[in-house]
Structure 1
Amino acid sequence: MTPDTNPIRTAIYLSLLMVLISSVSVATTRYASDYTSTAAIVTLQYLVCCVLCIPRTVRHGLAPLATQRLPLHLFRGVVGVLGFYLFYASVQHIALVDAMLLRQSAPLTLPLVMWAWNRERVPWRSLIPLVIGFMGIAVILRPSPEGLSWWHAAGVASAFTLSISMVATGELARTEPASRILFYYFFLSLVCVAPFSLGDFSGLPWQVWLAMLFIGVSMYFALGLYTRAYALAPAWAIAPVNYLAVVLTGVWGWLIWGQVPDTWTLLGSALVIGGGLFTIALGRRIDRSSG
């Protein structure tokens, strides 16, 4: 098999492109948040995604929209909106690298969510990277006698919501095609958040409109790249690439806003990424032994 036809290599390339788009989108969100509300950014994001996915979803009529799992679709939509709202709010108030790193800690929270969802047992070996990763989160949060940084805590909460969304998506994928899952996710999320953004779009400069449109388009194509990459290769092969988003986001924060990570952030980052990579490595070992 030549490198050009190697599915894992192709998946890594797609993941690299996704990471680049996602990191630029986060920086763009930070820019737009100086001019409008988080609700407005999230609303336009989902509106753009709806517009882009409708032609593909209904090109053969409305029959593909028929579903018997509307409550789970709605639950996933609500969780998705909450996750982006928390993430974008944290981006607005803390360093980009901190917000992205906390969001990327979702692999650490996923085993806990799976246990709470269906009481799936967490192997004892998986507890070791969880402890390492959560030590890193604690370092980044840096609780002090004055209290906890609530915007950092919002970043952690966004990781939990991302994990919940991932588990809900896995449940939906048992019976629903990907196009239907995406449509209901975009549409129901839009319905949930739009009422909170009324009046937040007036008087915005054209540059902000352009930025918010880019955020929506980038989310749509990033999800497409993500889906394609994970269809080509197992998670353990490409998931580590996602941590490059932390590095790239840190670069944008440094170049544009002068946000230089301190020693504690670097230490916490090392622990979180180390715990995440450890979790991925364990998943790879389990996949190989079960194969």
Structure 2
Amino acid sequence: MTGAALAAASSHLPETGRSRLIAIGLICSAVLFFALLDTSAKWLSGHMDPVQVVFARYAGSMGLVLMLLNPWSHPGVLRTKRPGLQAIRSLLLLGATALNFVALKYLQLAETVSIMFAGPLLVALVAGPMLGEWPGPRRLAAIGVGFLGVLVITRPGLGGMHPAALLCVFGTVCYSFYALATRRLAAFDPPETTMVYSGLAGTVAMLPLIPFFWTTPQTPFVWLVMLGTGVFGGFGHWLLILAHRLAPATVLAPFIYSQIVWMILLGWFVFGQFPDRWTFAGASIVIASGLYLLYRERVRKVPGEATSARID
């Protein structure tokens, strides 16, 4: 949805309704950029080592972020109250990105994103011991069903998918703990500071490795796609920040699943790949479980559960 269309559609809504509609448009745009990021990374893996692709993603994103957020335009943007947690969070994101990019070399786009959709399930599972948000029996059942969906997609031991799917699973674990660290940091640092540290840490961590994996691109188009990975990643995360300023996460989260549509279309258009019935079935299970968790989050009675900190 374009900015003009959003403005026209929201002009007859109350202020809260307009904000939420704009936020939904932003989150849908963000996941499109993330789909383009993964598509670019998969395409580049045929021209260079995934380590170089990861570096291109972080270096390009860092350049874009510093144009928008820097110590001159935003004084104090590098000031953090939790430097250790910022470092851990950034390294978790780097690990998730690197594992996903390596997996993309061997898996279809729809396969990787379907596995990654299990991230919210894992977050809900470990939020109890880490954040004191204990899931109740119905949420635990939904989490279990969601993980069964991942098994349907990967079919371990049945030869249904490349072993690289395991890398995607590990990447999902990294991303889940990254999401939990992001929630913790929200109480201490503004999102702009967290975003800057994400790109900065990833770029610095990858620099020592680049001389061992660098392959000079042979055409201007390859250079352009490398630059695109940084732009897609950086701009996608910026749109996420803007969206969450306008609407709560429980409103926006269901629209993140629209990324599967873009991944299927881009996988077919760019690589001539179309997911099999197992991927469709498993993805449907994972998405349904995630949506149920969101539903329980929205309808739970917070005052009555405050003493036990249990989320049913």
TM-score using structure 2 length: 0.86
Matched residue SS, 1:57: coil
Contact 1:81/1:193 (8 A) holds in 2: no
- Show the 5 A alignment for 1:59-208: 59=72, 63-118=76-131, 120-144=133-157, 149-205=162-218, 206-208=220-222
1:223 maps to amino acid = H
From the superposition, tell whether residues 145 and 246 of structure 1 become closer, same or farther in structure 2 (CA, over 3 Å): closer
From the superposition, tell whether residues 146 and 264 of structure 1 become closer, same or farther in structure 2 (CA, over 3 Å): closer
**What do residues 180-234 of structure 1 show as CA deviations (whole Å, max 9, x unaligned)?**
1111111112112222222433331222211111110111111111111112112
Aligned counterpart for 2:254 among listed residues 240, 244, 261: 240
Contact 2:30/2:240 (8 A) holds in 1: yes
From the superposition, tell whether residues 64 and 129 of structure 1 become closer, same or farther in structure 2 (CA, over 3 Å): same
Return the alpha-carbon distance in structure 2 between the equivalents of residues 158 and 34 of structure 1.
Answer: 21
Return the alpha-carbon distance in structure 2 between the equivalents of residues 61 and 252 of structure 1.
Answer: 37
Identify the residue that residue 283 of structure 1 maps to in structure 2.
297
**What do residues 109-129 of structure 1 show as CA deviations (whole Å, max 9, x unaligned)?**
111232342454222221122
Contact 1:39/1:194 (8 A) holds in 2: no
Q: Which runs of 5+ in 1 are unaligned?
A: none
Identify the residue that residue 287 of structure 2 maps to in structure 1.
273
Return the alpha-carbon distance in structure 1 between the equivalents of residues 303 and 55 of structure 2.
Answer: 44
From the superposition, tell whether residues 118 and 4 of structure 1 become closer, same or farther in structure 2 (CA, over 3 Å): closer
Contact 2:114/2:279 (8 A) holds in 1: no
2:224 maps to amino acid = L
Matched residue SS, 2:243: helix
Return the alpha-carbon distance in structure 2 between the equivalents of residues 48 and 225 of structure 1.
Answer: 16
Which of the two has greater helix per residue? Answer: 1
Q: CA deviation at 1:146?
A: 6.0
Q: Which runs of 5+ in 2 are unaligned?
A: 1-10, 305-312
Identity %: 25
From the superposition, tell whether residues 274 and 146 of structure 1 become closer, same or farther in structure 2 (CA, over 3 Å): closer
Return the alpha-carbon distance in structure 2 between the equivalents of residues 3 and 59 of structure 1.
Answer: 37
Give the alignment's Cα RMSD to 1 decimal: 2.3
TM-score using structure 1 length: 0.92
